[in-house]
Structure 1
Amino acid sequence: MPLYEYRCLDCKRKFDIFIAYSDYGQKTVICKHCQSANVTRRINRIRIAKSEESRLENFSDPSSLEGLEDDPVALGKMMRKMSGELGEEMPAEFDEVVNRLESGQSPDDIERDMPELGDDLGGSATDGFDDDF
């Protein structure tokens, strides 16, 4: 039974649903989040089921992380790729940070422009890391 992905046009959330080939087009699809029938099917790339471990193995090579601290564009691309591998929808703030990195803005500038990001974690983004020893 295939897995189809939909987006609700009312609450704007994505959801998946298993539908038998014989039921596709016959069965009314209802949003799992708000129960609306105002949904549209999303056409995505073909997905291959992998364990989280095998998906994250692609990032285990330390050489793939070399130079990222000096190249915001490469850092943004890596962050986007990692979020895609995790397969979870990220908050809008994540997308904004990645877009800024991919446009060449430095992490320090982003942190200065978006101080509220550190507040979401219960303090500033540098808590405990700038202390002199």
Structure 2
Amino acid sequence: MPIYEYRCQDCGRKSSIFVRRIGMQVEPACEHCGSRSMTRLISRVAVLRSDEEIFQGLAEDASLDDVDETDPLSMARWIRRLSRRLGEPLDAEMEAELERMEAGEAPEGEDEGLSGDDQEG
């Protein structure tokens, strides 16, 4: 029972469509705007791994070490890399937050930056 991904030609967003059988004809509609102008995407193949294998791979991934936690853009890139490595898609709320961070804004609720220098003492 595959799940196919499509990109809407009207709003540009991705939708995932569950199909009961391989080869079954579907008429996908965008889950965001309802448009039927959709293009099927080639999706990555999911490989099942144990939690231990996933976290071992993360521990060995040096590309995740170059994050600057005081820079919103660096943090956003790191979160996107982590999401890809874990195979976990980002929800719309997280996507919006990352777009703000990529524009140089501090994450929502962070008034004094990302450095953690707001300790009381």
TM over 0.5: yes
Equivalence for 2:83: 83
In the TM superposition, structure 1's runs of 4+ consecutive aligned residues that sit over 6 Å from their partners are: 95-98
Q: Measure, in 2, the Cα distance between the counterparts of 1:66 and 1:36.
A: 38
Aligned-residue sequence identity (percent) comes to 31
Equivalence for 1:129: 117
- Alignment length (residue pairs): 110
Equivalence for 1:42: 41
Unmatched segments (≥5 aa) in structure 2: 69-73
Question: How much is the aligned-residue C-alpha RMSD, in angstroms?
Answer: 3.9
TM-score, normalised via structure 2 length: 0.59
> One-letter code of the match for 1:123?
D
Higher alpha-carbon Rg: 1
Q: Measure, in 1, the Cα distance between the counterparts of 2:42 and 2:115.
A: 42
Unmatched segments (≥5 aa) in structure 1: 99-112
Q: In 1, are the aligned partners of 2:29 and 2:38 still within 8 Å (CA)?
A: yes
Q: Measure, in 2, the Cα distance between the counterparts of 1:48 and 1:56.
A: 15
RCO higher in structure (CA 8 A, sep ≥6): 2
Q: In 1, are the aligned partners of 2:58 and 2:85 still within 8 Å (CA)?
A: no
More helix by share: 1
TM-score, normalised via structure 1 length: 0.55
